[in-house]
Amino acid sequence: MDHALLFHQEVIDRVCLPVLQAAFAVALVIATGQVYAQSDDTPEPDTTLVDAAEASGVDPVDLAGAVNTTGMAPREYLYAVGELERPYVPPPYRPSVSTTGPYGLNPYPARVAWCESR
């Protein structure tokens, strides 16, 4: 009986153990390859989205979901929901149309003064 048990232990040591070790090594290599493949597929975070999330104090993942759902730009979405205040942009400068002539005079007397000065 001891001889049969010794034979089974020898079979396990010489055959089964190396096969199990090889199978484990192959599984480890496959799993590692899949992890690296998945990490390469993840896109880089959009810098405008991250900047807008930091400026408003919102979680970037939540903001990305809202932007993907609405189709709006990150800052436009945050302005629309009130998380960010739209910056004040002064209106463009437009010079007023003057109805006065040179030196602040009415154009007609200014023209008369010009003609008389010749």
Q: What is the pLDDT of residues 85-96, one digit of tens each?
A: 998 988 888 776
34 and 49, same domain (yes or no): no
1 and 37, same domain (yes or no): yes
18 and 54, same domain (yes or no): no
Cβ count near 51 (within 10 Å): 13
* Tally of structural domains, the chain: 2
pLDDT greater than 60 at residue 48? yes
32 and 58, same domain (yes or no): no
pLDDT greater than 60 at residue 47? yes
User: Does residue 82 lie in a domain region?
Assistant: yes
List pLDDT tens digits, range 50-80. 899 999 999 998 999 999 999 999 999 999 9
48 and 20, same domain (yes or no): no
Q: What is the DSSP string of 23-91?
A: HHHHHHHHHHHHHHHHHHHSPPPPHHHHHHHHHHT--HHHHHHHHHHH---HHHHHHHHTSSPPPP-PP
3 and 14, same domain (yes or no): yes
Confidence (pLDDT) at 101: 59
2 and 38, same domain (yes or no): yes
Question: Is the distance from CB of 105 to CB of 113 less than 8 angstroms?
Answer: yes
Please give the residue that has the higher pLDDT: either 59 or 103.
59
Domain membership of residue 69 as a residue range: 43-86
